[in-house]
Amino acid sequence: MVDDKERNMKCLTFFLMLPETVKNRSKKSSKKTNPSSSSSSSSNSSSKLPPVCYEIITLKTKKKKKMAADIFPRKKPASSSSTTVQQYHQQNLSNNNLIPAPNWQGLYPTIRERNAVMFNNDLMADVHFVVGPPGGTQRLPGHKYVLAVGSSVFHAMFYGELAEDKDEIRIPDVDPAAFLAMLKYIYCDEIDLAADTVLATLYAAKKYIVPHLARACVNFLETSLSAKNACVLLSQSCLFEEPDLTQRCWEVIDAQAELALKSEGFCDIDFQTLESILRRETLNAKEIVVFEAALNWAEVECQRQDLALSIENKRKVLGKALYLIRIPTMALDDFANGAAQSGVLTLNETNDIFLWYTAAKKPELQFVSKARKGLVPQRCHRFQSCAYRSNQWRYRGRCDSIQFAVDKRVFIAGFGLYGSSCGSAEYSAKIELKRQGVVLGQNLSKYFSDGSSSTFPVWFEYPVQIEPDTFYTASVILDGNELSYFGQEGMTEVQCGKVTVQFQCSSDSTNGTGVQGGQIPELIFYA
């Protein structure tokens, strides 16, 4: 314990460091407290410290600083006399502002919550925005200081050297819903994105240099990326200069090319994006599908340019992009029954391509005659060995199933399956891929096994997109020779290139397949 004398010395040191006014105030306070004992208090060093010294010592103690929200815990205000932040948000989305309750500032402990009340609120607004194209505008209130803190563009607009003192600013190139989403982020520090407005919000965030909101938009687009919207997002990602999103779009388009080319979104892309897709070497699609997709795009482009839907106009809008379609690499049946009868090719072009297929001396063509490389599938083998026995592996309509998860996005193209252990045989296989009970892909096909212990591929109609860190169920029902090879010494984790695959048993498996042994030895995928 520190004795009273030492504590008095410390107290005196702090007291001497105080401003003169504080010293005098403390002396006066001491005299008022005990006017008759001034001499005794100075002579007795072991007496209790003056109250002012205790206050100084208390202030010296280092304590963790608390935020306003910690000091004043948020209380739910009474419904009859106040409005919550959420209620303000809801009413402000439609610019339906109510008169705030008296002393509304006292209802919210943090600056963030008080700021949020001003979101889309005419109260104290010193600028208004007329947002949207003619005929679809919306007038939105703003507060220059808040906007300038959230965006360097708004700062330059309101406080820069060339700032204009306007009460109303017109923004015809931004969607009102997207502008509201940006304002909500600036005022409330909340990101509220929707699939139908995220691209417009990204445009607004880029225009007004709100980088964190832009990054959130890109992340949203990446997680919702699929073959249906990959072509449109590719076009937008190039426009917004987002290379990571561009790369992710190409991964989907390459692996699920036929689905992407048949999607409605493909017809909405610009000409430059069309050319880049038709030029793509790793496009994993039949050339007849590429040709038909280009004609569909040309038809919609004619409508956009108010041109009559004629063969001549389709060829006109395609321009030189037509020669990026590798028509000579089509199967002869596809060319004869499709491209040759489309009317888009001239008579000379049709004759030359037919000669290309049949003649020893092939004519020169304007079309690219080298087939696309496509994608090389990878195989993840989960067994270290295989075997066969006289009483295994039997198929009587029962299901072989296994669950798996990956650490990177991949596209499952099919499964590798074992075949007969008793010589050549043909199998009918129904393969299926599910996630949480929902079927993502399935196919019924046949494959021929030559009696070896090799695996035989069975493909889905289209590759199935697999997201990371989620378990999927791979299943197969085989019908054929009851005795086949089966895997053993199974692994729970397999490293396949840059992809790590984990396996676990599936409750759907009724024929004995599990992690340690059974069927479905391989996953075939693109990455």
| CATH number of residue 173's parent domain | 3.30.710.10
Number of domains in the chain: 3
296 occurs within a structural domain: yes
- Domain shared by 129 and 253, yes or no: no
Q: Which of 195, 261, 264, 227 is nearest to 440 (CA)?
A: 227
62: exposed, middle or buried (C-beta count within 10 Å: 0-12, 13-18, 19+)?
exposed
Of 322, 356, 390, the one marking the end of a domain is 356
- Taking only the tens place, the pLDDT of each residue in 471-521 is 999 999 998 877 889 999 999 999 999 999 999 999 999 999 999 999 999
Q: Which of 192, 163, 212 is nearest to 92 (CA)?
A: 192
Q: Are residues 258 and 196 in the same domain?
A: no
Residue 18 within any structural domain of the chain: no
CA 392 → CA 45, 384, 424, 455, 507, distances in Å?
A: 99, 18, 17, 17, 20
The letter for the amino acid at 178 is A
Structural domain harbouring 269: 248-356
| Span 350-390, pLDDT tens digits | 999 999 999 999 899 999 999 999 999 999 999 999 888 76
- CATH number of the domain that residue 284 is part of: 1.25.40
Owner of token pair 């923004």: 171
The reply to whether 307 and 196 lie within a common domain is: no
Asked if residue 400 belongs to a domain, the reply is yes
Of 175, 205, 222, the residue that ends a domain is 222
The answer to whether the beta carbons of residues 300 and 264 sit under 8 Å apart is no
For residues 275 and 349, membership in a common domain is answered with: yes
pLDDT at position 94, please? Answer: 53
Residues 216 and 343 in one domain: no
**381-402: average pLDDT:** 84
Question: Residue 443: inside a domain, yes or no?
Answer: yes
Whether 396 and 519 share a structural domain:
yes
Cα 469 to Cα 384: distance, rounded to the nearest angstrom: 24
> Do both 519 and 384 map to the same domain?
yes
Cα distances (angstroms) measured from residue 429 to each of 137, 176, 442, 457, 524:
57, 53, 10, 11, 16
Provide the pairing of β-strand 493-496 with 499-505.
Answer: antiparallel
**Joined tokens for residue 141:** 């209130």
Separation in Å, CA 154 to CA 39, 119, 405: 67, 16, 46
CA distance 201 to 290: 32
**Stated pTM of the model:** 0.74
Are 383 and 489 in a shared domain? yes
pLDDT band at 9 (very low <50, low <70, confident <90, very high): very low
Q: Are residues 197 and 270 in the same domain?
A: no
Task: Report the C-alpha gap between 13 and 25 in whole angstroms.
Answer: 17
> Would you say residue 71 lies in a domain?
no
| Residues 327 and 280 reside in one and the same domain | yes
pLDDT at 483: 83
Mind listing the pLDDT tens digit for each residue in 155-186? Answer: 999 999 888 888 899 999 999 999 999 999 99
The answer as to whether 24 is a domain residue is no
Residues 518, 435, single domain; the answer is yes
Q: pLDDT tens across 52-78, in order?
A: 433 333 333 344 444 434 433 444 444
pLDDT at res. 294: 97
Q: What is the pLDDT of residues 102-139, one digit of tens each?
A: 788 888 888 888 888 899 999 899 999 999 999 989 99
Same domain, 517 and 392: yes
Q: Please write down the HEC assignment for all residues of 352-396.
A: HHHHHHHCCCCCCCCCCCCCCCCCCCEEEECEEEEECECCECCCC
Higher pLDDT, 390 or 268: 268
